[in-house]
């Protein structure tokens, strides 16, 4: 996969040289190119921003440096252009899987109040444009989002994560949060590892872990359970979910008291 990142803080992306993603680059699985937007300006001051039409606080990124930078990375195959923005679609594991199937991702890191909207419209002629948000809070620019998205996508590429089994049993892999994990010693500061995990009974261990996934998800992320298709659940799951307050209504999970509010 090829990745181009355009930013006025290219040093921010140095973290992509570290750890799993850095290793994937060394191994030739990921071809990452970071570009300084200021290299595409045409004035002596390398200006990338200007005041907003219509007034208001802050500055807006000028269109022409973006057009020059994007043209320089476009290629001929209609790459996906990810525009990090708190006004984007919220990123999740399903989107990470979709992006992992692409051959070329381009990231346009805005700063200030954002990029002149005409750039986003114009880019649609040669890119598949996707405004993407990390969640409902505001960052100063897109760079941190690029680090997060490249890491989430990169680890899904074949060969990046050493043991692909570890991608199966992790949070969001099956729409639920991950079960809690423990290691030695079995007793630590008067706290014992749940007995079932020492039992060697793989069936009991699997159902304990699944039970814990439901308990955790119900407590921390009830939004993930609400509306879940009951067809994906086993009878034993429905017993546990029933104890957690969930019923099946019209083929999907609904919390007994909360569903009307959601």
**What residue ranges bind ligand 6GU (CB under 6 A)?**
84-86, 88, 132-135, 137-139, 141-142, 145
Write down the least CB distance from residue 58 to ligand 6GU, Å: 12
Write down the least CB distance from residue 102 to ligand 6GU, Å: 18
Kindly tell me which of 139 and 233 has the beta carbon lying closer to ligand 6GU. Answer: 139
Write down the least CB distance from residue 125 to ligand 6GU, Å: 23
Kindly tell me which of 102 and 247 has the beta carbon lying closer to ligand 6GU. Answer: 102
Give yes or no for a contact between 225 and 218, defined as CB atoms under 8 angstroms apart.
yes
Q: How far is CA 153 from the centre of its chain?
A: 7
Name 35's bridge partners: 6
Kindly tell me which of 142 and 179 has the beta carbon lying closer to ligand 6GU. Answer: 142
Name 32's bridge partners: 3
Write down the least CB distance from residue 219 to ligand 6GU, Å: 24
47 vs 50: CA distance, rounded Å:
8
Write down the least CB distance from residue 223 to ligand 6GU, Å: 17
- Half-sphere CA count of 198, side-chain side, radius 13 A: 10
Kindly tell me which of 85 and 217 has the beta carbon lying closer to ligand 6GU. Answer: 85
- Half-sphere CA count of 26, side-chain side, radius 13 A: 8
Kindly tell me which of 137 and 257 has the beta carbon lying closer to ligand 6GU. Answer: 137
138 vs 133: CA distance, rounded Å:
9
- Going from the C-alpha of 185 to that of each of 121, 188, 192, the distances in angstroms are 57, 6, 9
Phi-psi sector, 75: left (phi>0), alpha (psi -120 to 50), beta: left
Write down the least CB distance from residue 84 to ligand 6GU, Å: 3
Kindly tell me which of 108 and 240 has the beta carbon lying closer to ligand 6GU. Answer: 108
Kindly tell me which of 134 and 161 has the beta carbon lying closer to ligand 6GU. Answer: 134
Tokens for 243, please give them.
């104890």
Write down the least CB distance from residue 82 to ligand 6GU, Å: 9
Name 247's bridge partners: 254
Beta strand 104-108 pairing with 2-7: parallel
218 vs 244: CA distance, rounded Å:
7
């Amino acid at each position: 996969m090829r990745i181009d990142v355009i930013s006025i803080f290219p040093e921010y992306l140095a973290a992509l040289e570290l750890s799993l993603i850095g290793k994937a680059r060394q191994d030739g699985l990921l071809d990452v190119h970071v570009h300084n937007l200021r290299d595409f300006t045409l004035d002596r001051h390398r200006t990338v921003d200007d005041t907003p039409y219509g007034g208001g606080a802050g500055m807006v990124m000028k269109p022409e440096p973006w057009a020059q930078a994007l043209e320089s990375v476009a290629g001929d195959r209609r790459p996906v252009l990810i525009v990090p923005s708190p006004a984007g679609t919220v990123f999740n594991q399903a989107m990470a899987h979709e992006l992992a199937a692409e051959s070329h991702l381009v990231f346009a890191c805005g700063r200030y109040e954002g990029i002149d909207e005409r750039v986003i419209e114009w880019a649609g002629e040669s890119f598949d444009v996707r405004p993407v948000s990390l969640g409902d809070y505001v960052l100063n620019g897109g760079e941190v989002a690029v680090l997060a998205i490249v890491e989430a996508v990169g680890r899904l590429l074949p060969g990046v994560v050493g043991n692909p089994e570890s991608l199966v049993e992790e949070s969001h892999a099956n729409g639920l949060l991950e079960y809690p994990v423990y290691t030695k010693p079995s007793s630590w500061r008067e706290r014992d590892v749940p007995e079932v995990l020492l039992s060697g009974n793989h069936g009991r261990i699997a159902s304990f872990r699944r039970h814990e996934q439901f308990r955790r998800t119900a407590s921390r992320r009830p939004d993930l359970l609400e509306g879940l298709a009951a067809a994906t659940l086993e009878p034993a799951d429905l017993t546990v979910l029933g104890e957690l307050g969930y019923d099946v209504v019209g083929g999907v999970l609904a919390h007994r008291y909360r569903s009307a509010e959601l």
